Amino acid sequence: MSILSCHVYGIRLSTDTEYRYIGATIKSLLHRLRRHFTQARYGSTTPFHQWLAQQDPEQIVIELIELCENEDQMLEREKFWIAEKREHLLNWHSASGKGTLGYQHTEETLEKMRGPREHHFSGEDCYWMYGTEREEETKAKIGTTMLIRWHEKGAHETTPRDGCPRCTLVQ
């Protein structure tokens, strides 16, 4: 059985006492804040992400408002806190529902998503799948490094490996 950490959190400037955003997550607060920054950086059009994109990341504070027992309670408490702090929030509209859960994209947005992607790689253009040919010396260095890492993890103790300069096989 997995235990979820259900957080209701607030985001504000370090120089301000009022939250600009209240949200809920089952991830860590740091993970959620990083995700917000990524969304802001890559052009999310929500008022909060537009505001966040204009701020100095060093001045942004994320704080736990409430720890909940389950997701249903978390969503209810998120709505409660949004309604409670509505005056300064950029996501006050979320108080009427479950945040963006169940959000329906417009047909125009769906068409844009179906269209060609600017940075889409496929076939031989996909460098991480096809890569470049390596010199034999480079391959040997990579192999030695991998054996050393494998050895340092202690895997050699249960399964000695042929060719590892640090392992001795007991026969």
Per-residue pLDDT reduced to its tens digit, 4-17: 689 999 999 999 99
Residue 74 near residue 68 (C-beta atoms within 8 A): yes
Rounded to 5°, angle at Cα 53 from 107 and 77: 75
For residue 114, give both structure tokens. 């179906």
Paired residues of 133 in beta bridges: none
Model confidence at 165: pLDDT above 60: no
CB 11 within 8 Å of CB 33: yes
For residues 44 and 12, give the distance between their C-alpha atoms in angstroms, rounded to a whole number.
18
Q: What is the pLDDT of residue 59?
A: 95
Residue 145 lies in a domain: yes
- Written as one letter, the residue type at 69 is E
- pTM for this prediction: 0.56
- φ/ψ of 113, rounded to 5, equals -70, -30
pLDDT in tens, 129-150: 556 677 888 888 887 787 777 7
pLDDT at residue 142, as a whole number: 81
Residues 158 and 74 in one domain: no
Domain that holds residue 59: 6-100
Question: Can you give the pLDDT at residue 89?
Answer: 85
38 domain residue, yes or no: yes
CA-nearest of 36, 90, 40, 86 to 61 is 36
pLDDT in tens, 17-49: 999 999 999 989 999 999 999 988 887 888 898
Q: Read off the amino acid at residue 148.
A: I
CATH number at 64 reads 3.40.1440.10
Whether the pLDDT of residue 58 is over 60: the answer is: yes
End-to-end C-alpha distance for the chain, whole angstroms: 43
Asked whether residue 63 is assigned to any structural domain, the reply reads yes
Do 91 and 31 belong together in one domain?
A: yes
Q: Is the distance from CB of 93 to CB of 21 less than 8 angstroms?
A: no
Model confidence at 161: pLDDT above 80:
no
Same domain membership, residue 139 and residue 90 = no
pLDDT in tens, 105-131: 788 888 877 776 655 555 555 555 556
Residues 66-84 have pLDDT tens digits of: 999 998 999 999 999 998 8
Structural domain count, the chain: 2
